[in-house]
Amino acid sequence: MSATLTGQVSLPGSKSESNRALMIAAYGGFSPEVTNLSEAHDTVLLQQCLRQISSADTKARNVIDCEDAGTVARFLLTYLSCHEGEWLLTGTPRMRQRPMGALIDALQHLGADITCQDQQGFLPLLVKGRPIRGGEVTINASQSSQFVSSLLLAAPCWKQGLKVHLDDATSSEPYIWMTMAMMRHFGASVDQAGKTNTVQAKPYESHPFRVSSDWSSASYWYEFAALSSSCDLLLRDLHDDTIQGDRAVAEMFVPLGVRTSFEPDGARLTKATSNSNPVVEPLLFNVSDNPDLFPSLMVTCVALNRSVVFHGIRNLVLKESNRVEVMLAELSKLYDINYLFDDNSIIVYSSSPILINSYINTIPIKTYSDHRIAMAFAPLMTRYSGLVIEHPEVVKKSYPQYWSEIQQLKKS
């Protein structure tokens, strides 16, 4: 791909919207009338698990493997807790390191029968499904907003509904807003007042729903645009009117030289005219609401030698990989980076390319079974011809067509 970036790309349907639509249909007992459903592996896996649950022998113990999908594990824990049968919920070794404790505690408070089989607060979990009436619960959502969304999605089917109090700073809160917006679309009564979310006992209604294109996946094309010398790139079917919090990427990339204009066919990315004045002020990003944007922002800032401060990084260690350590390790193969970080912030003071003859030397980038690491490093292939993304197939978790879209642009 040349330094001039032109063409059109297709984005996947949002797996966050898709997974919520599938869970709502499962709780509502109707077939989902969903168009543009994500083809991401996480969504395919959730469909498979829901089919397995619906056809399972409830008199036997059934193993539900959520593999490496945090959303699937957390959404299904609540679903299984109130679904008759005995269930062993498990996942990959990495998934068994990702926290579930706050959701387990909340469900047990509401009457669920959940037993940790190994380490307290983590998979695998033995769940004995039984009716849950609902009521009132306090939950710590500082590690994941998925804990809250999981409870909210189930609550319309509980006789007493649910009142959820958040007792600490909430991670990725826009995803809770997305959950509530989708619940309302399907007829649920859900309200938010301060730190309290209230759901009435009002069953879901079947309505058609179109999944929007995924703003999280768009971040890698913003990265391509920022690293280009000039850009005229249309992200098809990506629109300003969205319930996705990662829409914030459009503003975040403005100081990195990318402008967004919305058209009937999608979002058009162009490169701002270069400013000849030296940049002295460091950029500041708080990614506590948008943690999935961190990898693309981090790579872009380092590649452009922009000083940057990232706040809200604490939970990045809980993702598919420890994304802060992984990003530093792999970027250090290409750049000399001066940085300082603590548990919730990282400051990158400067970065300069390491002299590498990439036409001769292969530069392997490890992906740590993390789709977002693979996709965030791909735009650097425009600068390093020897860059090799190891295990590129990991992108199937959220954006199966990513590599083919890049190939298409190479030909455009």
Closest CA to 205 of 155, 156, 143: 156
Question: Any residues with CB less than 8 A from the CB of 186 and at least 6 apart, and which?
Answer: 24, 28, 204, 205, 206, 207, 209
Cis before 392 (ω within 30): no
What length does the chain have? Answer: 412
* Pairwise CA distance, residues 270 & 260, whole Å: 7
Strands 308-311 and 266-271: unpaired
Instruction: Check if 57 is active-site.
Output: no
Catalytic residue among 42, 68, 105, 292: 292
Amino acid (one-letter) located at 288: S
Which residues, in sequence order, are bridge partners of residue 90?
65
State the Cα–Cα distance between residues 265 and 125, nearest whole angstrom.
Answer: 45
- Which 8-state DSSP code applies to residue 247? G
- How many Cα neighbours within 13 Å face the side chain of 126? 7
Considering only CA atoms, give the Rg of the chain. Answer: 22
Q: Which one, of 367, 285, 359, lies nearest residue 330 by Cα?
A: 367
Dump the DSSP string for 20-82: HHHHHHHHHTS---EES----HHHHHHHHHHHHHHTS-TTSEEEEE-TT-HHHHHHHHHHHHT
Strands 190-193 and 196-199: antiparallel
Per DSSP, 289 falls in state: S
Catalytic residues: 292
